[in-house]
Structure 1
Amino acid sequence: MGMLNQAVQLAIMVGTIRTLSWPSPNVSGNANTAERAVHRQIGSDFDYLMLTRIFPTAVCRADDDSVPDSCEIPTDTPDWSIHGLWPNFKNGSYPQFCDGSPRKFDSDLIKSIEGRLLKMWPNLYPAKTAHSFWKHEWEKHGTCSQNHKNLSSELLYFRTTMAIDTEYSVGSALKRAGIIPRSEPYHLEDIRDGLMKELSNGMHVQLNCLTDKKTKEILLGDVRMCIDKSFQPIDCPRSNAFQPATYITGPSAPLPSFKECPPLVTYLLETSTEPSHMLGLGHREFAYWINPLIPFYTGYFSQQKLKHELLWG
């Protein structure tokens, strides 16, 4: 294996890590019993892995913040956080809910890395514990990766995912490519080209988007990189065999729906130094509320100026 894989393995062994698809339908009910049985039998024979990172700012802007327990970004969350590491088959399908050891998520097994997980792999919904997100990822995806020696236990699955995320940092790659958050939209292919150059060694990456709940802007929402079993980048499928939808972290509402990106997308500004922040509003919210009022106030002050000129000459 290459030097990069050795570096990842070293990070896994010594624990010195510096440090949301192929979304699929929920599997429940008798109708899916046979399907789940097949998945349990073949789940460990995956062909490659897909590492998906989400942009928390976009996720929360796509959420309905008018309801209780809406999306919140925990303190110290990086610009890009982990959604999951997912085994996939070359034919476009994917294993899920495989026989595992343990089959059910056990939070005690990851106590030693929980602090790093809370930062790098947070749950963005305050009503749900971080464990509920990790439980979903382990039981649906992690159990299907256990034939790989560096993913063969619950602890190794989460530790290895964080190590790979650190080695292939989306945020750092975007900065090196000159792709920074801004108000003007980017051409989608400029973002993809930058990531292929700075993140995936020229291999194709998948990009998916979200819609801002208030402004209706199309936001860059996630980046999906495919890697082989030596953790080296490979081409992701050129089109999404399964359109991005949602994943469930518990019985309440899922994350907003990801979708295929259009040619122009916004890499959303997280903060703004504009005066509108003094009102507790970002520049987009300020524009959203003030723009419809501009014609009214322009007309009003024009009328006042005319009255002044008529009265006083």
Structure 2
Amino acid sequence: MESKRQFSIILIKLFFIQYLSVLCAARNFDFFYFVLQWPGSYCDTAKSCCYPTTGKPAADFGIHGLWPNYNDGSYPSNCDPNAPFDQSQISDLRSSMQKNWPTLACPSGNGITFWSHEWEKHGTCSESVLNQHQYFQTALNLKNQIHLLQALRTAGIVPDGSSYSLESIKDAIKEASGFSPWIECNVDESGNSQLYQIYLCVDTSASNFINCPVFPNGKKCGSQIEFPPF
């Protein structure tokens, strides 16, 4: 009798643990980071880059990703192993993605590996809001809402290898978007800080830019940063 009672207690504990696991996995995220990357800075490093098999991308900011995040600075990842990337679901978006979401990793690729990674690591955590097609379409729409390169050019900030103040870059982007960005830098082969990625925050419907609840812990920039050509 006692053994049956202990067995029942164990089953209840296991059920409770499983329930908590499901509850945690299903926890809604609080906002998205929308991350855009300058290809000139990706390539101007000791690691260098490889152009896609479709050819050299345009000299414009490319999408890196649309990433669900929590207000405490943490983020969910790889939320649904049963929802692998299916390129047939984005066949109508492929040409636009090759233009606006190019891969620069080596060896040269057609983008599928990059997009698959973004969907499986980040996109599956937004399935309560966006299916796979909507996830990629939404990121493309967000890029079209804000023309970063033009915003910087309007402020006299151009990708010619010159250095600009970090504050002037932030101000130009805030003027165009209405919200303060977070700027991530990397370093060129000489160790100089250069404009690499721009983070803007988006609400959970993935339709409106918002003030960032928290900024990421990425590579920070100096007060003066280079804007390399591409």
Normalising by the residue count of structure 2, what TM-score does the alignment of the two structures yield?
0.81
Q: Which residue of 1 aligns with 2:147?
A: 169
Larger relative contact order (C-alpha < 8 A, sep ≥ 6)?
A: 2
Residue 21 of structure 2 corresponds to residue 42 of structure 1:
no
Contact 1:40–1:97 at 8 Å: present in 2 too?
A: no
1:216, 1:78 → 2: CA distance? 23
Contact 2:182–2:199 at 8 Å: present in 1 too?
A: yes
Unaligned runs of 5+ in 1: 1-33, 245-258, 271-313
> Where does 1:1-313 land on structure 2 (aligned, <5 Å)?
41-42=25-26, 45-65=28-48, 70-72=49-51, 74-99=55-80, 103-129=83-109, 130-148=111-129, 151=130, 153-199=131-177, 201=178, 203-213=179-189, 215-230=190-205, 231-237=207-213, 239-240=215-216, 243-244=217-218, 259-270=219-230
Contact 2:50–2:108 at 8 Å: present in 1 too?
A: no
1:51, 1:91 → 2: CA distance? 17
Contact 1:40–1:98 at 8 Å: present in 2 too?
A: no
**Partner amino acid for 1:265?**
I
Question: How many residues were matched structurally?
Answer: 207
SS at match of 1:163: helix
1:216, 1:228 → 2: CA distance? 36
Contact 2:163–2:224 at 8 Å: present in 1 too?
A: yes
Larger Rg: 1
**Partner amino acid for 1:267?**
F
2:176, 2:169 → 1: CA distance? 11
SS at match of 1:260: coil
* Residues 155/179 of structure 1: CA separation in 2 closer, same or farther (3 Å cut): same
Once the 2 structures are TM-superposed, how far is the Cα of residue 126 of structure 1 from its aligned partner? 4.6
Once the 2 structures are TM-superposed, how far is the Cα of residue 208 of structure 1 from its aligned partner? 0.5
**Partner amino acid for 1:172?**
Q
Contact 1:107–1:131 at 8 Å: present in 2 too?
A: yes
Once the 2 structures are TM-superposed, how far is the Cα of residue 81 of structure 1 from its aligned partner? 0.3
SS at match of 2:171: helix
RMSD of the alignment, in Å? 2.2
2:126, 2:23 → 1: CA distance? 12
SS at match of 1:98: coil
Once the 2 structures are TM-superposed, how far is the Cα of residue 146 of structure 1 from its aligned partner? 1.5
Contact 1:206–1:238 at 8 Å: present in 2 too?
A: no
Q: Post-superposition, which runs of at least 4 consecutive aligned residues in structure 1 deviate over 4 A? A: 37-40
1:154, 1:143 → 2: CA distance? 8
Once the 2 structures are TM-superposed, how far is the Cα of residue 139 of structure 1 from its aligned partner? 0.3
* Residues 160/220 of structure 1: CA separation in 2 closer, same or farther (3 Å cut): same
**Partner amino acid for 1:210?**
N
* Residues 63/223 of structure 1: CA separation in 2 closer, same or farther (3 Å cut): same
1:39, 1:118 → 2: CA distance? 37
Unaligned runs of 5+ in 2: 1-17
Once the 2 structures are TM-superposed, how far is the Cα of residue 135 of structure 1 from its aligned partner? 0.6
Q: Percent identity?
A: 31
1:59, 1:111 → 2: CA distance? 27
